[in-house]
Amino acid sequence: MKIIRVVITESKSLTLLGLQWVIANQPDMKVVASINTVKDAIETVKNGADVAIIDRNLPHINDLEVVRIVQEMGCQVVVSAQDYSQDMLSTAMQHNVDCLYLKTSNPDLLPQAIRCAYYRDSWIDPEISKNLMNYWANNLDSSNRRRYKKGRSNYDSLTKTEIEILKLIACGYSYEEMANKSYITLATIRCHANSIYSKLGVNNRVRAIIKGINLKYLDVSDLKDTDIEEGISELLTI
């Protein structure tokens, strides 16, 4: 079994202990360092790490620069934050970080984010998706709504299957989880996801969700538990 070497950067001692405990209980993960400074994080990654959890709340942090340096060393990144913010999304989109985790979420979600980062899959905290949808629902005026609705004609339409998969992406499901729950092969899920990205003209999960909201493929109601299960059921019948 491949052991994923994880570096944790965290500004709060109590939260750091919690993250350590969650990761230590995963059979395929090992915490190689737990630190609270940017300098130590970079030095530790140099010595060998597969995934780095980068805390956006560290003092004196230029997260864009840190993410760039860590990625250039061949280490995958999970960006973590205490609260949702537009700045967090900007960081992710500028550096194509596909794994975003909120510390206020269920700790059991963190291993999913780490595995997705390691295997070059994407994962976004469901709470971030909800905030994204609420933001666009509350901030788009009528003229912008018409423009986005009209703009859908500029893109190839998503198929029924692709729309269901986009909803599951927004709900925080990894490709592997989608495959396991729907009994569709992982390769097929990846193929659908790549098609979604291509049709929407995006290159990561965050941009796909934003574009999906703009083009009315996604709605806040899509994140309800019942709709998630219905989405899985839809894939089983397609």
**Residue-level pLDDT at 125:** 83
Higher per-residue confidence, 135 vs 36: 36
204-227 pLDDT, tens digit per residue, is 787 888 888 888 888 766 665 444
Exposed e or buried b for every residue in 41-78, given b needs 16+ CB within 10 A? bbebbeeebbbbbbbbbbeebebeebbebbbeeebbbb
Helix (H, G, I), strand (E, B) or coil at 215: coil
Identify whether the C-beta of residue 164 lies closer than 8 Å to the C-beta of residue 238: yes
Query: Terminus-to-terminus CA distance in the chain, angstroms?
Result: 34
- At residue 42, does pLDDT exceed 90? no
What single DSSP character describes residue 218? -
**Residue-level pLDDT at 111:** 92
State mean pLDDT over 17-41. 89
Identify whether the C-beta of residue 30 lies closer than 8 Å to the C-beta of residue 18: no
**Residue-level pLDDT at 153:** 55
64-87 pLDDT, tens digit per residue, is 677 888 888 889 999 888 876 776
Look at phi and psi of residue 124 and say left if phi exceeds 0, alpha if psi is from -120 to 50, else beta: beta
State mean pLDDT over 46-68. 78
Q: What residue ranges define each of the domains in the chain, with the CATH number in brackets?
A: 4-120 (3.40.50.2300), 129-237 (3.40.50.2300)
126-176 pLDDT, tens digit per residue, is 887 777 776 666 665 554 555 555 555 556 789 999 999 998 888 878 888
